[in-house]
Amino acid sequence: MEKIKVKAPATVANVGAGFDILGFALEQPYDELELSLVNGRGKAAFLSLEGYGKGKLPENEKNLCAIAVQKVMDKLNITGKDIEIKLKKGLPVSSGLGSSSASIVGALYGANKLLGGKLGETELLQIGIDCEAVYSGAHADNVAPCLLGGFVLVRSYEPLEIIKLGGVNGLHVSVCHPDFELETKKARAVIPKDVPLKNVIKNQSLLTSLIYGIAKNDAALVARSANDYVVEPYRASLIPGFDDVKKAALNAGAGSCSISGAGPAVFAFTLSKKEAETVSKAMACAFSKNGLGSRRYVSGIAKQGVHAI
């Protein structure tokens, strides 16, 4: 194999009360990458970028795609070949939709396939987490669902242990991304070290219900369990109009609504595509009333993660 085209999905992390440990893959939007194996000196060569991030993201060896590919090549001691990378970025940058993870995982997957598929899932996950740490901290709840698909639970970071929970039939997702960027580091900085015990108890109950619902393929239980009383109250202030957006989503029929990842994107669960469309429109309208344009997406849970196309 000398060339591969790859599709890497957007992801929602920090799902409800699952801060840093629970994420899922979306059917849309996604990044597309083309990687080519050519004669060379064991280097990753970033050739081009289209779509989101043009003019903002580096188009050289400092691009996360190139960093990821280089780590794979170094791990496998590749010396006589280069891998050239072209990225078509369908995910907005700093959106709360796992934009960096999609680029990283797409690059890791493609490079590994070109080089014989010698690295397993755990090795790819660890490299992906290391790459994420370059800009936003070493977290797995975007990288893991992007690689594996479906809902994914991070049981442990040291040692790394990931549990694949799979998809949930009949569950639909409304996502609304307001037209501004929110850096993960800024979003983490507002979270206090101490939070009220009563809120921790609420979150424990919600997270248990959420994971139980996923395991039992109970879309209705999952849909009403993605709430958060520990992190969301502090991050909400970073997203203009968030309270209005959440209220609009719930009034339009969403079972629950919360911040996607570090934000500013907001997601909501529904039980039909029609409801999801209605909810996404209501969310966009609420952002508009707060002076923000937005992009909206309606998606199912992507049971397949990154893959060749």
- Catalytic pick from 132, 232, 270, 275? 132
132 is catalytic: yes
3-state helix, strand, coil split of the chain in percent (to 5) is 35, 30, 35
CB 232 within 8 A of CB 202: no
Distance CA(9)–CA(262), nearest Å, equals 17
Long-range contacts of 200-206 (CB under 8 A, 24+ apart): 200/230, 202/17, 202/229, 203/17, 203/228, 203/229, 203/230, 204/17, 206/16, 206/17
Q: Alpha carbon 214 to chain centroid distance?
A: 18
DSSP strands (E only) in the chain:
3-12, 22-39, 44-51, 81-89, 151-157, 160-166, 172-178, 256-259, 266-270, 294-300, 307-308
- Catalytic pick from 184, 232, 275, 278? 184
79 is catalytic: no
Catalytic residues: 132, 184
